[in-house]
Structure 1
Amino acid sequence: MLRDAGRDADHLEVVRWGERLLAAVDDQSQECSEYLTELLTDAPLSSLARVEALVERGRLYYATDREAAALMDLTEAIRTDPTISKAWESKSEAIDTPISISVDAYLDTDDDAVGQKVLAALDELADLLGYEGPIDEQTFRGSIWRRALATLRGRPSSSEVRDRLARVERALVLSSLEMKIADVDSKTASAVEQLIVSLTNVPEACLRVGSLLVIKYQDVSGPIIVARSLSVMEVRALERYPEIQTDPKRALQSLAVVADNILADNIDLGFDVTARDTRSSEES
């Protein structure tokens, strides 16, 4: 239709678009994912159309066993529109259920009482996901920097754990955007609100529960809280360079650099990705 309309109107650009999309549809090896890639790469899509295209391509990737690519598309769709239910549902289906997850916290405070309040709220979220802990704790002083694991409790089904993750993830993202989370069950909403409130007296923080990341830092306009759903590559980046979390204001920038290098199979970077002064237990 596009190609014929372009010919009728003598509009060369429309003709070219029609031919590109026809070629993508005719590529039987791509299950129409190449068609969506053409649109996502070059077409002037509206924000809503881009989200829809990302969700559909993510579903196609997942159906053809390309889980990493699926998670990246679905995560981007959620970041663009945190309210889109199809993206949350599709992403929860694409996520494997790990036996253990990281439960890390960097807090720019040396107040143990404040720190314990934040850590308790963070561990409560892990508990909601079906994990118990923390175990293998490593805590460094000066600021409070705790690295720990939580292990899967009992034998919940994979779908049950994925459903819990989707609810907590959705509540965190909506809460950080100051949007209503009434569509999330009360227990999850309460745990997320408790975590956000616990950060009130912490100037900067970086909290992680598995694939969920919460960052707080100071801007000229005041405190900023960002909740992020991590892609597969971003999770790998934090596993390899956990110290990224000790510089909350630059964490997302550093994370993007490392994730891009991992994606390019160039993970031996040979430089300090955060360019920060590491605080350790020796400084306390």
Structure 2
Amino acid sequence: MKKLTSALLLIAGAATATSGWAAGCDIGAPKTQRVMLSDLIIDPNLPPGSLLDSKIINVAGWMAQSCSGSVPYRSTMSGSWSQPNALIPGVYDSGVPGVGVKITDYRFSDRYVPQSTTLTSTGDNPILGSDIQLLFYRTGDITPGSFPGGEIARFSLPDSDGNLTDVLSLQLISGEVRIKSCYAKTPHQTVELGTIHRDAILGYGSTIAPTAFKIELLCQGDLPVNVSFSSASSMPSPDAGIVPIDNIPGAATGVAIKVLYRDGSPLTFDTPRTYHQAGEREIAIPLLAAYTPISDTITPGAARAAITFTITQN
């Protein structure tokens, strides 16, 4: 007789009840920061890619009182500032042709909007945000005009129910782009002083072989501008209008370059003078540059120095 056997395989398991909650944050009431920009007054000589201006938005403080678990964080450009510029990576169109913008992130001040990442909470400690910086860049030919209003950026965390919610919205209220009343006809120029023999150099304060040059401004409108000059040397100027020469291999010593107005008065650095008070279309600032001794001992060599000039307008 055959004996039939069978086996019953029992698979044991256990069902357990689970309990939990969505990771989220106590964010309180969402914040809206109204942004009123001062006018951006643009020098049209600046090439594409140049930084035009910047503005700090004071919003540092807590983004959320606390968060539970790991939570998503998002920052996005929005409204009229939501379109990436086609030419400069990381820059967004501002709504004014030729002007682009970047915004530093609320949570990560060393990064730029947009950001998408996960934040891990540390107990009951708040999630903090920093001040935000707006940076404006030239992206092409500029057409002056007003920035479109409305929301320009938002920063989001999940609420206590896990729903992504804006913790901060930047709302642009006002701001305009204008071209400077005056700008440099030639932003960069070289003045050749030539070669002199050190025996031709007289006592301290004297000037040798003065060379005439001028700063030319092209102007529009009737708003006045201020022009100031500064020494580009890392060494302090020993006297009014004196620019120490660059400390390079083979440089001369005991001599500097002195810059004067055509009437012989020395240029006073970092002191603005007002021009364009009569609506002129062109302005020339006539100057002289000359060698000048600054020591009793002079050694021959190259003598190169530089000054910068800045045009400002209210």
Q: TM-score, normalised by structure 2?
A: 0.20
Structure number with higher helix proportion: 1
Structure number with higher strand proportion: 2
